[in-house]
Structure 1
Amino acid sequence: MQALMGADERAFRTHVERSDFEIGQAKGKWRLLRINWPTADIAISARDGTEWGFKFLLDGYPAQLPNGRPCDIETGVPLSGDKWPKGSGRFAAVFNPGWNSGALYLPCDRLALPGHDHWLTQLPELQWPPARGIIHYVEILHELLASFAYQPPVRLAA
């Protein structure tokens, strides 16, 4: 017998079924990989076509901020810091496993916001909006991965 779905999971599933999430998928910006509540994995496309996986911890969603971190697209296993996306400037600050290998340095991440109250006034556009939910977080990540601050991984010639 399947357990009843909680309000947090229902809210998340409603958000990923909304048109703004589905339009992002149709445009190839991101795609939902899997939901294994209370986590969900989403692949986000970078400007070079590389897809990066992100595992989101979503218990208490959307009232509680999610926690996101890079993960393997196929398995959902969190990536070690040396395998995280690389870049410069703001990109490097967000994708900084040296700060915390279990979180991205963003005002919409539950592990990053505590201790950074100044973000609420300095970066209001990056705050967590429960009504928009996960769409807000993946849009920020797609914007970073589509920027020229992102450094595509070096690929060896065949």
Structure 2
Amino acid sequence: MESAIGADERAFRSHMERPDFQIGETKEQWRLVGNDWPHPIITVRAHDGTDWAFRFDLNGYPARLPNARPWDLASNAPLANHRWPQGTGRVAAVFNPGWNAAALYLPCDRLALVGHDYWLVQHPEKTWQPSRGIVHYLEIIHDLLASHQHLPAVRSAA
């Protein structure tokens, strides 16, 4: 027997059924790969074809801001700091485990927003939008990983 799901999980499931989430999956921009509620894991594809996994904390979704961190699917653990996405400019700032290895440095992240209230005015387009839900966060990550500021992942020679 399946246990009853809470309002936050119902909202997330509803957002995953919307056309904007489905279009992102169809375009292979992102993909839900694990849904151990409240910590779904979603991969986001970079311009070089690398799929980066992010484990979200969606307690209280969508009223409460989400939190995301890069995730190692093979070990089902946080991605080692030296393996985070690399880049210049905004990519380097957002994917910065030296700042906080448990969060992305974004106005839509619950851990990052603490102490950065000025972001609400400076970056209103990147602040959390409960009505848009998880797609808004995924679009921001995808835009960064698809940008020229993201450096392709280093791959070992075969």
In structure 2, what is the equivalent of residue 87 of structure 1?
Answer: 87
The answer for the alignment partner of 2:104 in structure 1 is: 104
Task: Tell me which residue corresponds to 1:58.
Answer: 58
User: Match for residue 41 of structure 1?
Assistant: 41
TM-superposed CA distance for 1:15, in Å, is 0.5
**C-alpha distance in 2, partners of 1:61/1:120?**
19
8 Å contact from structure 1 (residues 43, 73) kept in 2:
no
TM-score (norm 2): 0.97
Q: Runs of 5+ in structure 1 lacking a partner?
A: none
For 2:141 and 2:76, locate their aligned partners in 1 and report how far apart those are by CA, in whole Å. 17
Tell me the alpha carbon deviations over residues 91-121 of structure 1, each in whole angstroms, 9 at most, x when there is no partner. Answer: 1000000000000000000000010011011
SS in 2 for 1:3: coil
The letter of the residue matching 1:40 is: P
Identify the residue that residue 128 of structure 2 maps to in structure 1: 128
Structure 1 residue matching 2:42: 3-state secondary structure: strand
**Which AA in structure 2 matches 1:96?**
N
Q: Which amino acid aligns with 1:63?
A: A
Give the C-alpha shift of residue 76 in structure 1: 3.6
Structure 1 CA distance for aligned equivalents of residues 156 and 127 of structure 2:
39
RMSD: 1.0
Amino acid at match of 1:34: G
The number of residue pairs the alignment matches comes to: 158
CA–CA separation in structure 1 for the residues paired with 2:156 and 2:43:
23
CA distance in 2, matches of 1:12, 1:90: 28
Match of 2:138 in 1: 138
Percent identical among aligned pairs is 60
Match of 1:28 in 2: 28
| Consecutive aligned runs of 4 or more in structure 1 exceeding 2 Å deviation | 73-76
Residue 3 (structure 1) aligned with residue 11 (structure 2):
no
